[in-house]
Chains A and B, each alone.
Chain A
Amino acid sequence: MDKRLPALLLISVFVVATCGLIYELIAGTLASYLLGDSVTQFSTIIGVYLFSMGIGSWLSKYFDKNILSWFIQIEILVGIIGGTSSTLLFLLFEHIASFRILLYGLVSLTGILVGLEIPLLMRILQDRFEFKDLVSKVFTFDYIGALLASLIFPLVLIPYLGLVKTSYLFGILNVAVALFVCVNFKREIPAAGYLRSASIISIFGLLVGFVYSETITSFSESMSYNDTIIYSKSTSYQRIILTKRGKVLRLFLNGNLQFSSDDEYRYHEALVHPGLTALPEAKNVLVMGGGDGLAVREILKYPQIQSITLVDLDAGMTSLFQKNNMLVELNKGSLLSPKVKVVNADAFTWVRNQQKKFDFIVIDFPDPSNYSVGKLYTNSFYSEIKGLLAENGIMVVQSTSPYVAPRSFWTVNKTLESVGFHTVPYHNYVPSFGEWGYIMAMQRQHYKKPVQFPAGLKFVSKESLDQMFYFPGDMTKVETEVNKLNNQVLVKYFEDEWGAVL
């Protein structure tokens, strides 16, 4: 027995070392997924982790008696904490305020426990090897484990298992070491039976986590998204999913892409500036939908604007874009501006109960892909909101793609005209969406193409505007019906036209 054991214990060193590094990598990856800025995240995570390991090593001197049993207990603990860490971090990410404390807390705890492992193991092995052999062997296995971990993590584990399953897997390996030590040294350990059952139960628990990890964290959607899901929440109205790949954030509502952070400026500049720049006197603005605050960000570039009312159904959405660091960075804190009043209400009902007039109105609803949203594109809705538009004001409506869905686009135009609006349709190219359409609507024809735009725009300019107002042959106007509550032709057009390409 004695001949075989040292070798097996050295394999434990190897496993323990691999696990330790994996936890560190998981924490680093998670932090950069969730908080962005991978250099800072990795660097601070590694720092905190190594420092905690130092604390662990220092603490190891206080363990005197029953080192074996302490080692087993620590292994079980590392397995449980390390194994569930990514699940915990994903689940608790929604409580954004305390997230960093939690992240670094978990990293420190894992670090301290991992820091305890090697010194304790060395002391267990000290009677079985000569000191120079011991140091050489333990550290050799430790570093080999580290190499292995750093290679399989990005190449095998993340692509095939994902973060959550990887942590559970290594949690199980960690506890398996505990179980193995427990079984082989049972004569030297007081209460070996108790420790053995504890490890078996822990392994079983982690196994359940491994199998059900997707259900537990309800990140099963990650299968259908190319990028890593860093936030997912079901509000009473919709499922909000935020994904990240590299520096690019994408927001999905009920599985439909709302924006991609690398080209959303093209959409939001086109939505706001052609209209608002033509209104130097504008003071009061209404934004319907657009709970991401990105249209509001563009509107705040006009210092003469005194108030912006943002009406979005979902408080879960607007508060996410008020609180989450990455998203607040993206919308430049627009929803926190004192000029902005956020109203969480149902658009149609809200509009019917409003009397106030607005100089500029942005309608940024989801596409008319179902009868519920379709109501917000009807002549009834437009005639209600017409009453809120100032005599010289402009309203702009996101109107789906005039290239993919020309009948849908021109139906919105026709419906706006049917309630007495004068309209100015235009379009631009947004890589994430394709060729996209917008329609300006006003009480009478008073639109003059602006020449001066706010500084710092990346897309809209006098020259691009000429392009935007021009509809080439493949997007020319088609005759359609008016979209009404009692016919909802738009939903049918939209289904047909997008159904053909998707």
Chain B
Amino acid sequence: MSGAQYSKKQDLLKNINRRGFLLRASLLSSGIFLQGCLRKLHPKSAYKDIKGEIKGPNAKAGHLLRDKSPIAPPSHSHSVETLIIGGGIAGLSAARWLKKNGYKQFELLEVEQEVGGNSRSGKNATSSFPLGAHYITTANLHDKELIEFLHEHKVISHFENNLPFYNPYFLVFDPEERLLINGQWQEGLVPDFGVPENDKKQIRSFLALVEELKKAKGTDGKYAFDVPLDNSSADSEFRQLDKISFQSYLKDKGYTSPYLLWYLEYCCKDDFGQKLQAVSAWAGLHYFAGRKGIAANAEENSVLTWPEGNGWLVERLASSVKEHIRGSSLAYEISETANGKMQVLVLDPETDKVSAVIADKVILTTPQYVTKRLLRQFERPNFHYDSLSYAPWVTATITVNGMGSTKGAGLSWDNVAYNTPSVGYVNANQQHLQTNENKKVLTYYLPLCDYQPQVSRLAAYSRSYEQWLDMIIPELEYMHPNITEMIEQMEVWLWGHGMISPTVDYIWGGNREAGSAPIGNKIFFAHSDLSGISIFEEAFHQGIKAAKQLLES
């Protein structure tokens, strides 16, 4: 992928892209600004009873990193053998692994007050709720490390005939999913109600295809698609699928049904925050074929979830390493000292106090767009930061005191409407045992994938709270007529870099591999963006892999 000519071409492309980006971005944000002015003429209007505001990851910290504003010299410093930077799933998993293997000389820095990253959760009077990631599926049987972790925390209570028996309180309660299609809520998300026979045929054919791919193995005897994806077969028959988009793959295979394509696009939006044309075919198929977790007491790939979503898993991961965690600590620069140690400058975003940590080794579990700033003084050979694409997301935590009645299937855990911008909402109360609750907390997920991520991200940051309501509520109203008056509160969460997108050629194109290489046995990397797929399992294994590299070094 290297070579002078290619780079030049890339630079040229970049320039064109850049100009286009600026044009689109300015058009879009001035549009939003104008609309915002108009909006002010009719302040709040129908939404005046809805309380809430825009929230998001610590923006101040993010800007400090990007703009590199002058920061005072460190007031004090201390030493530690190993420093883990980042308290998302990868960081916590690395910490857990170190501790589990008897290694205690480490500290974990997290910029937010709470660890968890995308898997953080919140709580109000009605329920706990996820802010981002909200489920895992039953683990692949051969994924010993994950199964061990789940067993450790009684997600798996015991084994029957060598199959894990999952805690029934954590398996998603029925009804699991429903789809609003052709005027009615149907059970399940695969389009069915009112779908013509020809489309159903294509849907069946695709599902049969991925069922085959689930079992398929490459010439090296490994599964074609596996979790973590690094365990997948190197067989080029499969890996070459990373070089084309999922959209062209489907076209080549003759899949034309709008219902099928909608469903697949929904899946890509749901897991990757991107549309069919923007993700690789390998990644698109991995969504269906990678997970093959069977259980003694549940169907294959059953969902495991909690009212607080993956916040529950965060709590369990962190439980064994609590005393090693330092919140509100923004690492913003790493340098090598004269005697070969790592000096990490750390700022407390609340107090603006700066300190230095001198570490022998560092595990960097920050996303690469942050890592880029931290490692200004280091080379990562052959790794191109800028070819990583992150999907911006908006999630909304919505507290409702009723939902009205709907035609067809009743409120489920996951609720999606056909052909709408969002990927629907999940009901945090689903896993509650109470029989009678009028109030619910819904988490609504909207991937911002209509434009290039940079454009969408910029546009997202320029929207006001009322403008988000203008975008979200009409869709909710479409799903549930008259729900507006039942909305008590809506917190809008903006995730500028919500998740890595497995763009064409990213997973197997070599960049990922380059980015995963430790620097001089001193800096190790772990993050789901180095997997290319933003799921708990990948981040979990990223953390373990980095911890193992460190312990072996």
Q: Which residues on A are within 8 Å of B, measured CB to CB?
A: 236-238, 313, 346-349, 352, 370-373, 375-376, 378-380, 484-488, 491
Contacts and interface: CB of A to CB of B under 8 A. Distances in A.
Interface in B279-306: 297-298, 302
Contacts of B302: 486
Contacts of A370: 410
A236 B175 CA distance: 24
19 contacts: A236-B436, A236-B438, A237-B436, A238-B436, A346-B433, A348-B434, A349-B433, A349-B434, A371-B174, A371-B175, A372-B436, A372-B437, A378-B168, A379-B168, A380-B168, A380-B169, A485-B168, A485-B169, A486-B176
Contact of B435 (A347, A352, A485, A486): A347
Nearest to B173: A485
Given A370-B410, A486-B298, A486-B302, A375 B436 contact: no
Top-9 shortest CB links A-B:
A488-B174, A348-B433, A486-B171, A372-B435, A237-B436, A346-B434, A380-B168, A485-B173, A485-B168
Contacts of A488: 173-175
Interface residues of B, number: 18
Contacts of A371: 173-175, 410
Interface in B251-284: none
A373 B435 contact: yes
Contact of B436 (A346, A378, A380): A346
Nearest to B298: A486
Nearest to A492: B174
Interface string B142-174: 000000000000000000000000001101111
Contacts of B298: 486
**Chain A CB within 10 A, most for which of B171, B174, B437:** B174
Contacts of A376: 435
Contacts of A486: 168, 171-174, 176, 298, 302
B433 A352 contact: yes
Contacts of A380: 168-169
A379 B435 CA distance: 16
Contact of A313 (B172, B175, B435): B435
A313 B171 contact: no
Interface string B166-194: 00110111111000000000000000000
A373 B435 CA distance: 6
Contacts of A313: 435-436
Given A380-B168, A486-B168, A346 B438 contact: no
Interface in B369-399: none
Given A236-B438, A486-B298, A486-B302, A375 B433 contact: yes
Nearest to A351: B433
Contacts of A484: 168, 171, 174, 297
Nearest to A486: B171
Given A236-B436, A491-B174, 6 more contacts: A371-B173, A375-B173, A380-B168, A380-B169, A486-B171, A486-B176
Interface string B206-246: 00000000000000000000000000000000000000000
A378 B438 CA distance: 22
A348 B433 CA distance: 6
Contacts of A237: 436
A352 B169 CA distance: 12
A370 B405 CA distance: 14
Interface in B25-65: none
A380 B302 CA distance: 17
A375 B168 contact: no
Contacts of B176: 486
B103 to A, nearest CB: 38
A376 B438 CA distance: 18
B178 to A, nearest CB: 12
Nearest to B411: A371
A491 B409 CA distance: 12
A392 to B, nearest CB: 28
Nearest to B435: A372
A347 to B, nearest CB: 7
B538 to A, nearest CB: 25
A112 to B, nearest CB: 46
A493 to B, nearest CB: 13
Contacts of B297: 484
Interface string B426-446: 000000011111100000000
A485 B432 CA distance: 11
A452 to B, nearest CB: 38
A403 B512 CA distance: 64
Contacts of A348: 433-435
Nearest to B168: A380
Nearest to A346: B434
A237 B438 CA distance: 8
A237 B298 CA distance: 32
Nearest to A366: B435
A417 to B, nearest CB: 16
Contacts of B171: 484-486
Interface in B399-441: 410, 433-438
B165 to A, nearest CB: 12
Contacts of A349: 433-434
A373 B297 CA distance: 22
A72 to B, nearest CB: 46
Nearest to A376: B435
A352 B168 CA distance: 14
Nearest to B410: A371
Interface in B52-106: none
Nearest to B302: A486
Nearest to A352: B433
A236 B437 CA distance: 9
A237 B168 CA distance: 26
A305 B302 CA distance: 46
A236 B435 CA distance: 12
Contacts of A375: 173, 433, 435
A346 B435 contact: yes
Contacts of A238: 436
Contacts of B433: 346, 348-349, 352, 375
A375 B436 CA distance: 11
Nearest to A489: B174
A1 to B, nearest CB: 58
A499 to B, nearest CB: 14
Nearest to B304: A486
A40 to B, nearest CB: 38
Nearest to A365: B435
B298 to A, nearest CB: 6
A380 B173 CA distance: 11
A417 B424 CA distance: 38
Contacts of B434: 346, 348-349, 372
B435 to A, nearest CB: 5
Nearest to B412: A371
A446 B168 CA distance: 30
A237 B436 CA distance: 6
Nearest to A491: B174
A485 B436 contact: no
B158 to A, nearest CB: 13
Nearest to A488: B174
B410 A485 contact: no
A349 B434 CA distance: 7
A375 B433 CA distance: 7
A349 B436 CA distance: 12
